[in-house]
Amino acid sequence: MRIGVLALQGAFIEHQRAVERLGMECRQVRTRSDLSGLDGLILPGGESTVQGRLLSEQSLTQVLRGEIEGGMPVFGTCAGLILLAKHISNDESVYLGTMSVIVRRNAYGRQLGSFCVTSDMGAIKDFPMVFIRAPYIERVEGEAATLATVDGHIVAARERNMLATSFHPELVSDLRVHEYFLDMVRGRT
């Protein structure tokens, strides 16, 4: 299996290292040609506005949307969640718009509002969740399902081939969320 990680901006190196620690090949994606031969894709945290602009400048928005709608497994963390969302409640922007969720950008405040908790994500028990200027999901719609909540807010969801978290699993040594994503990829290949 070959996993790509969008490497335009944000915490892509950390995701690459997590995937490689799990014994998988990982390629940084910056251009359309980098998507060739991938079995799954990770959209990292960072700044969603910048990532959205760079996706457009690199002519990747429509291509990625097509890959995701065609069934390629994708995992968005923090800003990646915002890129996937069909609706952003406090912003008129829509980037990829493939996941049936309504997201609130910077819902937990600014950088100083960052925090860590341990919580469950479905069958993944006691997972350390790191939130940095994090969004949360206000509502799941359609086929999207809640996987985790923290303080009454949805922080992880899945819809068919799409997995999204508000938190940053790439910043902890626990690889179970990445393993969950790789199981999604294996289920498709």
pLDDT of 112 above 70: no
Long-range pairs for 31-39: beta carbons < 8 A, 24 or more residues apart: 31/58, 31/60, 32/58, 32/59, 32/60, 32/63, 34/4, 35/4, 35/63, 35/64, 35/67, 37/2, 38/2, 38/3, 38/4, 38/72, 39/1, 39/2, 39/3, 39/72, 39/73, 39/185, 39/188, 39/189
Q: Annotated catalytic, 170?
A: yes
Q: Where are the domains of the chain?
A: 2-188
User: Of the listed 67, 78, 159, 178, which one is catalytic?
Assistant: 78
Work out the average pLDDT over 60-83. 97
Q: Annotated catalytic, 168?
A: yes
Q: Annotated catalytic, 143?
A: no
| Average pLDDT over all residues of the chain | 95
| CATH code of domain 2-188 | 3.40.50.880
